[in-house]
Structure 1
Amino acid sequence: MEKHIVKILSITEVTHDVKSFRIEKPAGYGFMPGQATEVSVNKPGWEKERRPFTFTSLNEESTLEFTIKRYADHNGVTNQIHQLVPGDELILRDVWGAIEYKGPGYFIAGGAGITPFIAILRQLKKDGRASGNVLYFSNKTAFDVILENELYEILGKDAHFILSKNETPGYEHGYINRAFLDTNVTDLRKHFYVCGPDRMISDVNGALEQMGVQPDAVVFEK
């Protein structure tokens, strides 16, 4: 297994509990939009605590980016990463992941599950191929929405933000479930890209199966 020690170059606040980390890119290191790697903090006691994070930069860039949500309810890896500063080091490993763009479709994301789709949508925008794709992005509140303005810029009226906790002007309210999909999905022949909490993935995939979507049209991390 490859192992690369890289420095953090810069850190950007994205939401109240999400930061983007711009880091060094090892020579010859490449990935496809939607792929991930296992990351650990290069500090005593944390080197072997590995967690998967998706690249949110594009492969052609000279640096790498991860957009990481902090889970502060326990002293885990994300909590440690959010305490780092530029100059601190991370450990990267092999690239992996089954989420890749296969054609126009519906991107269905919950919370930090948007991260595999960020690089995909950025690449589509750069290539002039974003049209024909629709995003349904579920969060608890408007304060939790990651990169809302950029997603609007990429997809325009085809970017939909659904809030499950609060009713907020300018946002849809509810849950992405079978009833939601029945109402909003108009073309079952398209691809479906699904990422979020395990329960959400299971529920959405089950609903799509009931609706008659072919299994090979559903793209998710197995």
Structure 2
Amino acid sequence: MNIEQARFNMIEQQIRPWEVLDQDVLNLLSIVKREQYVPAAYVDLAFADLELPLPNDQHMLAPRVEARVLQELAVKKHESVLEIGAGSGYMAALLAHRAQKVLTVEIDTELADFARANFVKNGVLNAEVVQGDGSRGWAANAPYDVICVSGGLPVVPQELLEQLKVGGRLAAFVGGAPVMEAQIITRMDEKQYRIASVFETYVEPLENAVQPSRFKF
């Protein structure tokens, strides 16, 4: 496989048509090498338009979804980022190139170790993996400028919203099967949030994701 041709095709045929037009984001996809973050068995599929398998029934998000979320969050160099769901570490590595620092929380021990190893292998120095349950965020280091939830949320827990700084943005895949909304939620002030729905997709829910409250009669 011609890796650079495959990367070019991914950017031009999958990602750009998905309204990812920010040149800095497109350039970043050539700098942070996706094939370095996929399990060895799937290197030949690193640039395919699909969710690649990870250990323990987890998956990487499709490249176009990662790129679109990265564009919509518009992370700046002085900002701190929380990611929920490290997976292979690829999304955190993309975020780390744009941010001051990234904390990524992963509930699965094997995946947390995989992401850490990928950061070391690729020289990512400003991203840290914490093993734990991030389904309600990670209050210990809050507040954050940006929160990126790399898994589905039936509802966005209030605790997560409160970990955003005023002016901060949160990306999450909200709802249930068959279609969820990718939302960017901006904290306007202490009590108000603005929600923008940017596209529809489906992403497997986070382990221990908060469920909608149901009335009991």
Higher RCO, 1 or 2 (CA under 8 Å, sep at least 6)?
1
For the pair shown, the structure with the greater C-alpha radius of gyration is: 1
Give the TM interval when normalised to the shorter protein: 0.3 to 0.5
Question: Larger helix proportion, structure 1 or 2?
Answer: 2
